[in-house]
Amino acid sequence: MKLKALKIRIYPNVKQTTLLNKTFGCTRFVYNSMLSERKKVYGELKELPRELYEYKYKTEKQLKEEFPFLKEVDSITLQQARMNLGIAYENFFRRCKDSRIPMSEKGFPKFKKKNAKNSFRTIMINGNLKIDFDLKKIKAPKFGWINFRDDRRIEDIKIHSMTFSRTSSLKYYVSILYEDVVENKPQVDLNRTDLKVKGLDMSLTNFFVDDEGNSPQYDRNYRTYEKKLSELYIRISTTKSKTLRNKLKLRLARIHEHISNKRKDFNEKLSTQLVKENDVIVIESLSLKDMAKFRKWEERRNSKDKSNHGKSVHDLGWYYFVQRLKTKAQEQGKSVIEASKWFASSKTCNVCGYANRDLTIEDRSWICPHCGTEHNRDENAAINLKNLITTGTAGSADGIQS
């Protein structure tokens, strides 16, 4: 058994929309109230560890007595808001124990903003959550039956929970967590001689270049709309009418959503195709966070690497693409291999193994001084990645990560 999620768009009526918005607000209020109390109590009792440990914080039941409007929404959603705060604290304490994470990135729980992501979760108790694929309706406590439009169908679905959300473009969704029976397919034998292996080297302009020099038909989605987005940001910051500003913000949110949907659709289709056509896919282990860092002009001037590719790295959605590759490969009994991040795939000649240590990010092609072979930087890297599996002779691989 494996837990899977089915996310579908819902179309609530006016009454259901009002209740959804109230529930978003109430769960956010409970979360923020409990976080505020914990911060206040810690500030007062941090010198008294015993009293701090034994302190009894308010429950959602006590908050409902103090604030009667909380009784209008499903009590399970308020309980889940308290549990979410507990999980946020657990994650914070876990990260605090890791000395490798800087203090600024420990992630102390933050207050939820009204205009940020809005969501709440309710769990299955005595069959209170239902979905009818014939009538295209879902049922949750307090809401009754809500319409949805989706052609996907899951027989004998066993629901664990439902998470309702509202996007900044004012669209409503529900993510259904359910049990699914997954067939455990045997993983591919890497010692087979008839393996179909594909090496992929990430490219900021072409998404990736494979070991045959091929690239997918990639559209730089954010760059396409960048000028339009910039104009909207300027109009929002200069307009004095609140009504017009809200309309412009909604238009901005819809453009961002369109960009995100196009990127996701591209990554889903491409990952499915690659897993279907190959047995093993070899990629680089990249630090996307470091690649996307904005560096000041002085830092780039004093470095060999003059690049500043933050927008292009985010526009790729490479991390999501790799995760989908791994998930789909595991389900199909295929393998996705990540080369060590210390493996110099671009700087190593795939013919003789010579390592060109002077190669910079601006050098898109180079000639091997040892054997005279002319290399395209990305295609050479992809060939070296493929050779890790097919021949094991791609320079010094320093191991691989599966």
Catalytic residue among 74, 201, 210, 211: 201
Residue 279 has a CB neighbour count (10 Å cut-off) of: 20
- The label of the residue with tokens 């500043």 reads 308
Distances (CA, A) of 340 to 223, 284, 375, 397: 31, 7, 22, 7
Q: Write out the DSSP string of 226-249.
A: HHHHHHHHHHHHH---HHHHHHHH
Q: Is 65 a catalytic residue?
A: no
358 is catalytic: no
Burial of 247-276, coded b for 16+ CB within 10 Å and e otherwise, reads: ebeeebeeebeebeebbeebbeebbeebbe
The set of residues, in sequence order, having a beta carbon less than 8 Å from that of 184 and lying 6+ positions away, is none
Q: How far apart, in whole angstroms, are the C-alpha atoms of residue 12 and residue 174?
A: 11
Q: Among 284, 315, 338, 379, which one carries the catalytic annotation? A: 284
8 Å CB contact between 216 and 317: no
Tokens describing residue 156: 């004998």
**Chain-centre distance for alpha carbon 264:** 10
- CA end-to-end span of the chain: 23
350/171 Cα distance (integer angstroms): 50
369, with CB counted inside 10 A (0-12, 13-18, 19+), is: exposed
In the residue annotation, 315 being an active-site residue is answered as no
Catalytic residue, candidates 211, 315, 378, 379: 378
Beta carbons of 5 and 177 less than 8 angstroms apart:
yes
Residues with a catalytic annotation lie at 201, 284, 378
